[in-house]
């Protein structure tokens, strides 16, 4: 009786496997539960710092000429900054997930995005909380809310938010379209630069509206880009690398999956070998019995 065939080994399919939100999302979220708790703490800290009265910088007669500019309405409203820095990039990330079905990429992009946009305002608000014991200053009249925002002018919150969110999006798009694959594609560079240009437009509008000095927006832009770069490289490889398309944890998952497949294949091969060895003695005994019967027949024929 022939031995049973070996168990089929899963064939390697080209391209990225489908890592759906329902099958892998719970596992990924559970692994990063502490990260989300810390992120919620940063959001609470941001709100608490924003409620505290900021440092009142001394405004003397010598500094008044530099502040005598007509205050304009915000070209970019306050509500538009979260839309540009958070909502729009998240829509792009969600669209890529619908196309590729990689929950590791979806989760880490969202976590990195929120890490950048919640971390960037914290140092901005901390710079406003300084003690002041100078009382001889020019008295400011006007809307208390506008005056409070004026005391928080350095660095610019609009600019830091914009560069933190849109800077992360530039990193993310550079990895997805392989902008630095040495192919010399100008179109890819334009796609990567568009979020940064949008953030720069927000920064320029703050100076044009006389809400900030150029030093405020320049410092905030550098701060936002640094935070965005740290947050992206925490979860994703550099876009110029061969594995810059997916996050670090995805490749770790693939290595674990390949190890499990190799173990299953080795177990199946050893089981097939043991079955073959077990069936060999029976087959040899059958052949020996057949040979003995043939010899007995020949001897009985000779005797007859």
| Vertex 79: Cα angle to 73 and 82 (nearest 5) | 130
Q: Known catalytic residue: 212?
A: yes
Q: Known catalytic residue: 141?
A: no
Choosing from 107, 108, 212, 253, the catalytic residue is: 212
**Distance between CA atoms of residues 235 and 111, nearest Å:** 9
The sign of the dihedral angle between the CA atoms of 230, 88, 109, 34 is positive
Instruction: State whether residue 102 is helix, strand or coil.
Output: strand
Could you tell me if 140 and 209 are in contact, meaning their C-beta atoms sit under 8 angstroms apart? no
**Distance between CA atoms of residues 39 and 99, nearest Å:** 28
Could you tell me if 50 and 125 are in contact, meaning their C-beta atoms sit under 8 angstroms apart? yes
- Residue ranges of alpha helices (H) inside the chain are 21-31, 33-51, 80-82, 88-100, 103-119, 121-126, 144-151, 157-176, 186-208, 214-235, 248-303
Choosing from 107, 158, 185, 253, the catalytic residue is: 158
Structure tokens at 109: 């992009």
**Distance between CA atoms of residues 103 and 97, nearest Å:** 7
| Vertex 202: Cα angle to 225 and 154 (nearest 5) | 65
Active site residues: 158, 212
């Amino acid at each position: 009786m022939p031995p049973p065939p070996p168990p089929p080994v899963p064939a390697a399919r080209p391209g990225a496997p489908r890592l759906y939100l329902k099958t892998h999302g719970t596992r990924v979220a559970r692994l990063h539960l502490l990260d989300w708790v810390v992120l919620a703490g940063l959001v609470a800290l941001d709100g608490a710092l924003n409620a505290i009265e900021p440092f009142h910088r001394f405004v003397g007669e010598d500094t008044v000429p530099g502040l005598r500019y007509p205050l304009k309405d915000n070209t970019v409203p306050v509500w538009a900054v979260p839309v540009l820095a958070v909502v729009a990039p998240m829509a792009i990330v969600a669209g890529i997930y619908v196309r590729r079905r990689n929950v590791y990429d979806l989760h880490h992009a969202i976590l990195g995005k929120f890490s950048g946009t919640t971390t960037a305002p914290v140092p901005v608000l901390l710079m406003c909380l300084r003690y002041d014991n100078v009382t001889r200053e020019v008295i400011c009249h006007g809307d208390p809310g506008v005056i409070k925002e004026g005391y928080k002018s350095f660095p610019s919150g609009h600019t830091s938010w914009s560069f933190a969110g849109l800077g992360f999006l530039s990193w993310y798009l550079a990895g997805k379209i392989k902008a630095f694959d040495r192919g010399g594609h100008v179109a890819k560079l334009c796609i990567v630069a568009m979020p940064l240009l949008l953030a720069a437009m927000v920064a320029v509008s703050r100076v044009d509206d006389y809400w900030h000095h150029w030093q405020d927006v320049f410092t905030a832009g550098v701060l936002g880009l640094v935070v965005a770069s740290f947050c992206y490289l925490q979860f994703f490889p550099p876009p110029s690398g061969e594995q810059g398309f997916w996050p670090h944890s995805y490749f770790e998952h693939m290595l674990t999956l390949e190890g499990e497949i190799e173990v299953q294949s080795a177990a199946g091969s050893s089981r097939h070998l043991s079955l073959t060895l077990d069936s060999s003695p029976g087959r040899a005994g059958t052949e020996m019995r057949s040979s003995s019967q043939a010899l007995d027949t020949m001897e009985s024929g000779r005797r007859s």
